[in-house]
Structure 1
Amino acid sequence: MNQHVSWAEAGAAETRGGDVVRIVDLKRQFGGTAAVDGISLSVRKGEILGIIGRSGAGKSTLIRCLNGLERPDEGQIFVEGREITGLGERDLQPLRRRIGMIFQHFNLLSAKTVEENVALPLKIEGRSKAERLARAAELLDLVGLADKARAYPASLSGGQKQRVGIARALAARPALLLSDEATSALDPETTRSILSLLKDINQRLGLTILLITHEMEVIRTVADRVAVIDAGKIVEEGQVWSVFADPQADVTRSLLAGIRPQLPEAIAARLGKAGREAILRVDVAGEAARRPLLQELATAIPGRFRLVHGGIDHIQGEPVGTLFVGVQTTDGRVAEIIDFLNARDTRVEVLGHVSDDV
């Protein structure tokens, strides 16, 4: 039986409605350091899963284990229902045709034209020149570069180079697209256009994408689900809006600090243990963020309180926000206000007190 056909046809049947990738208790050490330390994770068919962590957290090692460039010390990796960790180099070749890869620094061949770069995986497969060029033209049209087919990479912008990289990754019609920090070398505007392209490809082709990044803004923009990795372990996992609304791990809260509302530094610097106004942080999501929470509070508990700072964002169609509320301590109703807010599915934290207006 032709090995390539068995991966593409039988694998697609096994994953229909299920997992394209399943990782079970994966471990990989370098010397005495555990780069991947017991990770278990699934990537569902048709979803975009974001894996985020700081530099050195183990993201790159994990993705290299997935495409067979690293051998794990322990654990299992299933791709389209097949266990791959014991495969030799020859048997890994059909697997790699099922996995497309886009890179941070594009990895284009400078001596080849754009269409030749895109068609290269098909040339390696032994496809005819007519088939290669037809597929390259189709993909360049998909990524908006139909007019650049005969250009060379040196004449392209960074965003155009990454679009070529995406087209090349799709050439062999993969079941899974791996994106390793694909937007890290791009400016913010170009990053947004590339993320929009990935989301469009995901929706139009039903392509499963595993996205490695250290930027929460990337996760917020494009991912369906997020897994946070720290010191080789998955420390938090869930729907993107849910994790953003109520992060549990310290590393997640740290990664979110740049894009969630934060108490202004001028106010934070003046917080103390006592004062005539308590500053509350109120995290809201879902139904709690849709209701007129402060209006309800003012009706139920008359007294002096005010909105100091904050805002509401929408992630995956769900409202998620943080409000900083100042409550007068002289009324003696701070605990009552906190109980009222907690009863409405918010998360409330007393950050401290200030002595005068801020």
Structure 2
Amino acid sequence: MNTHVTRQLAEAAAREDDVVRLADVRRRFGATAALDGVSLTVRRGEILGIIGRSGAGKSTLIRCLNGLERPDSGSIAIEGREITGLGEAELQPLRRRIGMIFQHFNLLSAKTVEENVALPLKIEGWTKAKRLARAAELIDLVGLKGKAKAYPSELSGGQKQRVGIARALAASPALLLSDEATSALDPETTRAILTLLKDINRKLGLTILLITHEMEVVRSIADRVTVLDAGRIVEEGPVWQVFATPQAQTTKSLLSGIRPQLPTHITRKLVADVTGEAILGVDIAGPAATGPLFQQLSAEFADGYRLVHGGVDHIQEQAVGRFFIAVPAEATARFTTLAERFGAQVEVLGHVAGHA
């Protein structure tokens, strides 16, 4: 088999494994480009985090995915089926392949937990016995055994979100859309809900697309991350790589709350003048982050250096290190060359007249 045919077969297989595929999707509201040429894929069984500030285009993207908004141009395919030209009647069966969980739960207050969970199945025409049996199975799955007869007013925020997740899973969807599902919850409850989503992903092989403005959510459970800014994708990749070496300024800003940052009292001393000590940001990830970088630097860098701040984290079972190093200004280039030899990325943040 020739190389061209092999490549075509591989590409066809990849397309079949894509639950979501967007190609050059655009949507404008007046003069504002909510989506400006967005192309992305979500593979079967993966968790993709889509992150951005308010107004980045996240809500428009999710509404286009479930057919509530129609893009001005571009292609959206769910499980290989193009949806942009479908009418409302044709969209209905497709929407049943998409589960949705919301920031504010969207439960019916007059219905019990089991009735809320079973509601999509009632709409589909399931018999009462079958839908209540399915609801009981899902209530147990999300950790709410014994709460079937409770009403939403009797539940905590975290329990309400568990009901929302169970309801989203009722029709065995191929794709679960999570729209800021944890932003109304406290940190402890957020962690519990994210753990539940990851557990469901593993047990059911469910594909999940997370829309969020919280990097910690992405860090906790996503496999890949896509960063949106003003309707455009500015960065994407495996979570650990993006967190280790963010390239876009938007990503760096969003990560500033959870990555080590140069302490403020040192930042205030930074000047552009290339004398005294240079303060360097050093990023290193993967096996190199736990390797002999500092031992080698100590052995080979005769000018001396000081570790000012930083440390090593672990994301997706990969070590991710971020350090702030002070070196004599005249030795900056030598230090950078040596550190890069060991797989580090080095950025000159500024200089201080004396010790930082």
8 Å contact 1:59–1:229 — kept in the other structure?
Answer: yes
CA positional deviation for 1:334: 2.9
- What residue number does 2:44 align with? 45
**Which moved further from structure 2: 283-292 or 206-215?**
283-292
- What residue number does 1:313 align with? 313
CA positional deviation for 1:147: 1.1
8 Å contact 1:281–1:351 — kept in the other structure?
Answer: yes
- What residue number does 1:157 align with? 156
8 Å contact 2:15–2:80 — kept in the other structure?
Answer: no
- What residue number does 1:338 align with? 336
CA separation in 2, counterparts of 1:140 and 1:23?
A: 33
8 Å contact 1:17–1:45 — kept in the other structure?
Answer: no
- The two structures have a TM-score, normalised by structure 2, of 0.94
Write the mapping of 1:1-358 to structure 2, written as runs, cut at 5 A. Answer: 18-272=17-271, 273-329=273-329, 332-358=330-356
- Give the CA RMSD over aligned residues: 1.3
Number of equivalences: 343
**Which moved further from structure 2: 168-177 or 311-320?**
311-320
CA separation in 1, counterparts of 2:163 and 2:138?
A: 9
CA positional deviation for 1:333: 2.9
Q: Deviations over 1:199-230 (max 9, x none)?
A: 00000000000000001111100100011111
Segments ≥4 residues shifted beyond 6 Å:
14-17
Structure 1: unaligned runs, 5 residues or longer: 1-13
CA separation in 2, counterparts of 1:236 and 1:116?
A: 42
- What residue number does 1:8 align with? none
CA separation in 1, counterparts of 2:255 and 2:224?
A: 15
Matching residue's letter, 1:238: G
CA positional deviation for 1:160: 0.5
- The alignment-based identity, stated in percent, is 71
CA positional deviation for 1:335: 2.0
SS in 2 for 1:252: helix
Structure 2: unaligned runs, 5 residues or longer: 1-12
8 Å contact 1:15–1:80 — kept in the other structure?
Answer: no
SS in 2 for 1:64: helix
CA separation in 1, counterparts of 2:14 and 2:65?
A: 17
**Which moved further from structure 2: 338-347 or 212-221?**
338-347
CA separation in 2, counterparts of 1:275 and 1:32?
A: 48
Q: Classify 1:83/1:17 alpha carbon distance in 2 versus 1 (closer, same or farther; 3 Å).
A: closer
SS in 1 for 2:281: strand
CA positional deviation for 1:302: 2.4
Q: Classify 1:178/1:15 alpha carbon distance in 2 versus 1 (closer, same or farther; 3 Å).
A: farther
Q: Classify 1:257/1:118 alpha carbon distance in 2 versus 1 (closer, same or farther; 3 Å).
A: same
8 Å contact 2:16–2:80 — kept in the other structure?
Answer: no
8 Å contact 1:261–1:311 — kept in the other structure?
Answer: yes
CA positional deviation for 1:274: 4.2
8 Å contact 1:15–1:81 — kept in the other structure?
Answer: no
SS in 2 for 1:186: coil
CA separation in 2, counterparts of 1:262 and 1:235?
A: 22
**Which moved further from structure 2: 295-304 or 131-140?**
295-304
Q: Deviations over 1:28-85 (max 9, x none)?
A: 1111211111111110000000000000010000100100111111111111111111
8 Å contact 1:113–1:153 — kept in the other structure?
Answer: yes
- The two structures have a TM-score, normalised by structure 1, of 0.93
Q: Deviations over 1:272-324 (max 9, x none)?
A: 22442221110111132021211110101223311110011111111112101
CA separation in 1, counterparts of 2:196 and 2:14?
A: 24
SS in 1 for 2:201: helix
CA separation in 2, counterparts of 1:342 and 1:65?
A: 43
Q: Deviations over 1:223-245 (max 9, x none)?
A: 00011111111111111111111
